[in-house]
Amino acid sequence: MGKLNQDKLYAFLFVLPSIIVIFTFIYLFIGWTGYISMTKWNNVMPNLKFVGFRNYSRLFQIERFQIDLHNTLVFTTLFILACITIGLGLAILLDQRIKGESIFRSIFLFPMSLSFIVTGVVWRWILNPGSAQLGSVGINQLFDKIGLGFLKSGWYTDPDIGIKAVVIAAVWQLSGYTMAMYLAGLRGIPYELREAAQVDGATPTQVYRYVILPLLKPITIGAIIILGHISLKIFDLVAAMTGPGIGFSTDVPAYFMYDTTFRGNKFAQGASIAIIMLIMVGVLVIPYLIFSAKREEA
Amino acid sequence: MKGIRVLVVGLIFSLLLSTLAFAGLSGKLEIFSWWTAGGEAEGLNALFNIYHKLYPDVKIINATVAGGAGTNAKAVLKTRMLGGDPPDSFQVHAGHELIDTWVKTGFMEPVTFLYKEEGWDKVMPPGILNIVKYKGDYWSVPVNIHRANVLWYSKAVFEKYNITPPKTFDDFFAVCEKLKSKGVVPIVMGTKDGWEAGHVFETFLIGTLGAEGYKGLWTGKTKWSDKRVTEALMLFDKMLNYVNSDHSALTWDEAGQYLIQGKGAMMIMGDWTNGWFMAKKFDGYGWTLAPGNEGIFDALSDSFGLPKGCKHRDNVIAWLKVLGSKEGQKEFNMRKGSIPARTDVDMSDFNEYLQSCAKDWNKDKIVPSVIHGAAASEGWATEYKDAIALFVAKRNVMKTQKALIMAAEDAGVDQ
């Protein structure tokens, strides 16, 4: 018994430093941000007078923030749907044990090795609408050259497209990653299961529909969590590619937070945006944590 | 024998003089700005050259952060200042950006003694002195003056259709209508960077409110609910009907191409446009003031100050003296394409536009620009910019005026 306690003590001592560090630099700072979001600190110098939820109620009156929330919703939905569809499609294709599979796998995965800044700059050029004087460039020029000029558009400079143009870049970068997740999932499904289904007379479509896809559900949930938390706090891609855009059509909460904090000196307002983003991510992640904790127990 | 003695005395004397001149000035001088390209970078280098000739032992560090209107530089500067690592001197828009962000918060040292020693308070007009002043002290040295409320036009287009430059809003819209019927873009504008629309709208506010009314917006004397603000918004809305359709994809200078090519007729933009036209080797442009802006000079100014706790204080004071000197002001502004803040600089080497601008600087009523940091605190200016940027996309007069009222309340100006 004494031995066990001592072991526990040692184990605790070993993790203590990381507990302290994580507590200080993550949870304490979250708490500090939460406190700042309820103060009057809307100038360069700190003013820690408590004002309750006033910053929040003010924030929701700002039209820019309303647009931002809407943009986040559009971005997250389209981004997750597209990544999962494309990722799953590519994974199923690669799973057919084709020749040169590893080459294709690498090609699809490569975009993930870039930072969002690089992706943003590249797609800014590709989707550049060009101008009346200089003619079209990027993808618009391609459309011109192959006789599909009617497909030309203003892309991210068109307020009706706005954030959806950013989705294209984000999907390009992360659908390969989703593919890798699904591919691993597919490889984890025992071959006997497919064989058994085939013996029972299932067509290939039926095999996927009734056997494989249900077994991939945990992968899908994992993918939604990972992609979702990326998209809810996206900043660098937007900053490099478009900025806030026309009428804030490509603006996101994180960009507004940066603008209002470091350009407008409204630290309290910036902190309240940060807390709202934290809550949004929390809504997505916490049920998953509970879900996986329960599964581990079972 | 006597000759040698004279020589020796002379030598000692000159040695003494030279050491006196450079006394204490060695080490480094870090200058922080967002002047990275074109005429402004050349102007900055000209200042460095003057400084270097006077104080050859000081090593100048040119710390620049690229990005138009200093949007990125200001964020970097803020982290450095709050982190206790101020650059020796930094570029800041004279006016509320200087006073509200850095002076009231106690980050700066007053430079009133320099104004007294060098007599600057006698050679700069009150319009600029007032905006670098707070509680009776001066806090920075303005290097240049830009004018924001200029309407540029293509001479070729105006001559072709026999148009005289408009002065009032009625003239202005009559000209727009005429040009539109001829298939020329009446107003060219680029709204890509977010601030350009706010810039044009500021001149519309001046146009409907006049100099005093406009200045009152920033002190609370004029309410933002005033019907003349509504009128400015409606006029601005009307103007948007005459703007190039691809404005959202262009920056102001890309839009300016319309003017150069004669496809567009007019553009309301600050007088850095003049320098840009010169760089493009285009001289077929004329200028007048934005509608209703007669006799008013909408000004912005870049200035440098003396941060508390900077590492090379003496070097900075020498730097500020160079900035305020006649030579410094002339060399810098000729290259940057702006006018000196001092009114006693010989303007004969400047181009025709700048000469006329300098004349107006001496006689017009000076009002501070909001979008360029002179009229309001950064927080307020940012909200103003956002409201107008949204207006361009949504065109909702009521909602925009409400947002503008709210921005003023946020800034602590009762409405």
On whether any CB of chain A is under 8 Å from the CB of B382, the answer is: yes
Q: How far apart are CA B17 and CA B13, in angstroms?
A: 6
What does B131-155 look like in DSSP terms, one character per residue? Answer: GGEETTEE-EEE--BEE--EEEEEH
pLDDT in the model for residue B2:
56
pLDDT in the model for residue A46:
85
H or E element at residue B352: helix B352-363
What are the pLDDT digits (tens) for A160-178?
A: 888 999 999 999 999 999 9
User: Does a structural domain hold residue B2?
Assistant: no
Look up residue B16 and give its two tokens.
């003494």
Name the nearest CA neighbour of A244 among A234, A255, A233. A255
B133: left (phi over 0), alpha (psi -120 to 50) or beta: beta
Asked if residue B14 has pLDDT above 80, the reply is no
Q: Which of B337, B353, B368 is the last residue of a domain?
A: B368
Same-domain pairing of B168 and B102:
no
Residues of A in Cβ contact (< 8 Å) with B248? 154, 157-159, 246
Q: Where are the alpha helices (DSSP H) in chain A?
A: 2-22, 29-36, 54-61, 63-94, 101-109, 116-126, 138-145, 163-187, 191-199, 204-206, 213-215, 217-232, 236-241, 253-258, 267-297
pLDDT in the model for residue A136:
78
Say which residue, A196 or B194, is predicted with more confidence.
A196
pLDDT in the model for residue B152:
97
What are the pLDDT digits (tens) for A223-272?
A: 999 999 999 999 999 988 988 888 899 999 999 999 899 888 899 999 99
User: Does a structural domain hold residue B415?
Assistant: no
**Three-state SS sequence of chain B:** CHHHHHHHHHHHHHHHHHHHHCCCCCEEEEEEECCCCHHHHHHHHHHHHHHHHHCCCEEEEEEECCCHHHHHHHHHHHHHHHCCCCCCEEEEECCHHHHHHHHCCCCEECCHHHHHHHCHHHHCCHHHHHHHEECCEECEEECCEEECCEEEEEHHHHHHCCCCCCCCHHHHHHHHHHHHHCCCEEECCCCCCCCHHHHHHHHHHHHHHHHHHHHHHCCCCCCCCCHHHHHHHHHHHHHHCCECCCHHHCCHHHHHHHHHCCCEEEEEECCHHHHHHHHCCCCCEEEEECCCCCCEEEEECEEEEEECCCCCHHHHHHHHHHHHCHHHHHHHHHHHCCECCCCCCCCCCCCHHHHHHHHHHHHCEEEECCCCCCCCCHHHHHHHHHHHHHHHHHCCHHHHHHHHHHHHHHCCCCC
Q: Do the Cβ atoms of A246 and B246 come within 8 Å?
A: no
Q: What residue of A is the nearest CA neighbor of B244?
A: A132
Chain B nearest-CA distance from A227, in A, is 29
Look up residue A114 and give its two tokens.
């870039």
| Confidence tier at B290 by pLDDT (50, 70, 90) | very high
| Confidence tier at B19 by pLDDT (50, 70, 90) | very low
Chain B nearest-CA distance from A55, in A, is 11
Same-domain pairing of B180 and B290:
yes
Same-domain pairing of B164 and B86:
no
Give the 3-state secondary structure of residue B371. coil
Chain A residues whose C-beta is within 8 A of a chain B C-beta are 42-45, 58, 61-64, 129, 131-133, 154, 157-159, 243-244, 246-249, 258-260, 262-266
pLDDT in the model for residue B72:
81
H or E element at residue B212: helix B196-217
Within a 10 A sphere around the Cβ of B39, how many other Cβ atoms? 20
Residue % of chain A over a pLDDT of 70: 97
- Mean pLDDT (chain B, rounded): 90
Q: Do the Cβ atoms of A131 and B100 come within 8 Å?
A: no
Q: What residue of A is the nearest CA neighbor of B380?
A: A264
Same-domain pairing of B82 and B186:
no
Asked if residue B66 has pLDDT above 90, the reply is no
Name which of B101, B254, B386 is nearest A44 (Cβ-Cβ): B101
Say which residue, A104 or B21, is predicted with more confidence.
A104
| Confidence tier at A131 by pLDDT (50, 70, 90) | low
Same-domain pairing of B60 and B131:
yes
CB B293 within 8 A of CB B201: no
- The listed CATH number (1.10.238.10, 1.10.3720.10, 3.40.630.30, 3.40.50.720) that belongs to domain A68-266: 1.10.3720.10
Q: Can you tell me which residue has the tokens 């390209």?
A: B37
Q: Do the Cβ atoms of B379 and A265 come within 8 Å?
A: yes
Instruction: Report the domain count for chain B.
Output: 2
Which range has highest mean pLDDT (A49-58, A141-150, B31-40)?
Answer: A49-58
User: Does a structural domain hold residue B15?
Assistant: no
Asked if residue A279 has pLDDT above 70, the reply is yes
Same-domain pairing of B311 and B240:
no
User: Does a structural domain hold residue B189?
Assistant: yes
Which range has highest mean pLDDT (A87-96, A137-146, A157-166)?
Answer: A87-96
CATH of the domain at B348: 3.40.190.10
pLDDT in the model for residue B20:
47
pLDDT in the model for residue B114:
95
Residues of B in Cβ contact (< 8 Å) with A248? 386, 389-390, 393
What are the pLDDT digits (tens) for B102-119?
A: 999 999 999 999 999 999
Mutation pick from B76, B253, B390, B398 vs chain A, by most beta carbons of A within 10 Å, is B390
Question: For the packed helices A101-109 and A163-187, what is the interaxial angle rounded to 10 degrees?
Answer: 140
Name which of B193, B250, B393 is nearest A247 (Cβ-Cβ): B393
Same-domain pairing of B98 and B183:
no
pLDDT in the model for residue B193:
81
Domain edges within chain A:
1-35, 68-266
Asked if residue A219 has pLDDT above 80, the reply is yes
Domain housing B33: 26-146+300-368
How far from chain centre, in Å, is Cα B293? 17
Q: How far apart are CA B191 and CA B249, in angstroms?
A: 7
On whether any CB of chain A is under 8 Å from the CB of B78, the answer is: yes
pLDDT in the model for residue B3:
59
Q: Do the Cβ atoms of A263 and B192 come within 8 Å?
A: no
Asked if residue A137 has pLDDT above 90, the reply is no
Give the 3-state secondary structure of residue A241. helix
What are the pLDDT digits (tens) for B198-244?
A: 999 999 999 999 999 999 999 999 999 999 999 999 999 999 999 99
On whether any CB of chain A is under 8 Å from the CB of B406, the answer is: yes
| Confidence tier at B39 by pLDDT (50, 70, 90) | confident
pLDDT in the model for residue B11:
54
Determine the average pLDDT of the residues in A87-99.
91
- Amino acid letter at B100? D
Say which residue, A274 or B18, is predicted with more confidence.
A274
Asked if residue B10 has pLDDT above 80, the reply is no
Asked if residue A69 has pLDDT above 50, the reply is yes
